[in-house]
Amino acid sequence: MSFVNPLDQLIRRLARLPGFGTRSARRAVLHLMKNRDSLMLPLANDMADVARHVRACAECGNFDTDDTCRICRNPDRDQTRICVVEDVADLWAMERAGVFSGRYHVLGGVMSAIDGIGPDQLRINYLVEKVTNGSVAEVILATSATVDGQTTGHYIAEKLEAVKVNVTRLAHGVPVGGELDYLDDGTLAQAMRARRQIDD
Amino acid sequence: MSFVNPLDQLIRRLARLPGFGTRSARRAVLHLMKNRDSLMLPLANDMADVARHVRACAECGNFDTDDTCRICRNPDRDQTRICVVEDVADLWAMERAGVFSGRYHVLGGVMSAIDGIGPDQLRINYLVEKVTNGSVAEVILATSATVDGQTTGHYIAEKLEAVKVNVTRLAHGVPVGGELDYLDDGTLAQAMRARRQIDD
């Protein structure tokens, strides 16, 4: 396509988004052209706005317009509990579920031998420092239930052994709405081992 | 998600793109945040640039930065042939295939009783006018092989009956790479009826 240059460039850049390819980017651009004032210009503004003003929170790693994010600034949130997550996406997932009222710590990934990511590339030292110097009572490890996620969790737990803090992790088990038939053996084994009394 | 306002707004707007939902928009935004300088800012600029400078060509309806598009301005393109397409996407598809060296006419949709789109909402009158007053030898109807597309094609062909111009349409048949087993009866019937001598 040699005939429309700025459009081509926009399509090429959009195609780099996850879940997009050239074909879907083309479709999106045509949709944007048809909704120029109601969608395309506002979207361009939003994007520039976010790119310029949103940054990672110096405390927890969440994204916000201020150096310290809304969650870290909120005095109503329990400062004695820290939930450790891999990524901002995981933090958002926890917030959507609305089951945690403490603060977060975003690692920025997991340790991975294959990708050459060691503990020094993650924000683990700062977490240990925060827990050592602060008044934290519980650290909840909410890394993924993958090999790398669990390895990272164990590493952090070990690092925190010297500190007087309660280290917990999310429960493993049958996902709500999940059918036993489709579950892997590992999950079933964990769910069986951690079975609970039916009382309340 | 009440905690990050500009991010929320960006996600909501991105989710309105075809093929995107809230979840994929969220993923895209996190990807953009990680590639702020290499992708997010340039993408925002591209989008604003296209929104401000790209418009529909007054002649054919294609998108370009000028009032008359590159194809209509190109003196090397055959002015006696006009290919009528529904949408700019179809024009782009024809150009990618590189099988047509004439000019285009974008209708801006097809006639549709259900959606209440009649011939007056499409750029049909202007096409007839152009063909009547110009030196056009052939009008190729490249509307989709759907009921609405074919109806629109027939309507245009009828409108052009009074004008001395050769009206053709794209051939129907087995798509290249297509398996007979998966083809519908209509396509097979058309392909059989329009079968050709194997000679060259």
* A24 vs B179, residue with greater confidence: A24
Q: What pLDDT sits at residue B183?
A: 84
Write out pLDDT tens, residues A86-133.
999 999 999 999 989 999 999 999 999 899 999 999 999 999 999 999
Burial A137-163 (b: 16+ CB within 10 A, else e): eebbbbbbeeebbbebbebbeebbeee
Q: Are B22 and B15 in contact (CB under 8 A)?
A: yes
| pLDDT reading at B2 higher than 60 | no
Candidate from A14, A31, A33 with C-beta closest to B63: A33
Q: What pLDDT sits at residue A4?
A: 47
Candidate from B16, B17, B63 with C-beta closest to A7: B63
Cross-chain Cβ contact B64/A1 below 8 Å: no
| pLDDT reading at B198 higher than 90 | no
Task: Map residue A169 onto helix, strand or coil.
Answer: strand
Q: What pLDDT sits at residue A3?
A: 45
Write out pLDDT tens, residues A34-84.
999 999 999 999 999 999 999 999 999 999 988 899 999 999 999 999 999
Cross-chain Cβ contact B64/A88 below 8 Å: no
Backbone angles phi, psi at A168, to 5 degrees: -125, 170
Instruction: Give every CB contact of residue A48 below 8 A, 6+ residues apart in sequence.
Output: B41, B44, B45, B48
**A47 part of contact set with chain B, CB < 8 Å:** yes
B119: its two tokens: 């011939």
d(CA A2, CA A16): 20
Annotated domain spans of chain B:
6-53, 75-197
Name the pLDDT band for A1 (thresholds 50, 70, 90). Answer: very low
Does the pTM of the predicted model rise above 0.90?
no
Task: Residue B96: list chain A partners with CB under 8 A.
Answer: 1
ipTM: 0.81
**A41 part of contact set with chain B, CB < 8 Å:** yes
**A93 part of contact set with chain B, CB < 8 Å:** no
Q: What pLDDT sits at residue A200?
A: 60
d(CA A160, CA B144): 65
d(CA B143, CA B172): 12
d(CA A141, CA A116): 22
| pLDDT reading at B164 higher than 70 | yes
B-interface mutation test, from A8, A50, A63, most B Cβ less than 10 A away: A50
CATH 1.10.220.110 fits B6-53, yes or no: no
Candidate from B13, B47, B96 with C-beta closest to A1: B96
Name the pLDDT band for B47 (thresholds 50, 70, 90). Answer: very high
Write out pLDDT tens, residues B53-102.
999 999 999 999 988 999 999 999 999 999 999 999 999 999 999 989 99
Write down the mean pLDDT value for chain B: 90
d(CA B131, CA A137): 81
d(CA B6, CA A65): 8
Please give the class, per CATH, of domain B75-197.
Answer: alpha beta
Candidate from A1, A52, A71 with C-beta closest to B3: A71
Any idea what the Cα angle at residue B83 is, between residues B79 and B84, rounded to 5°? 130
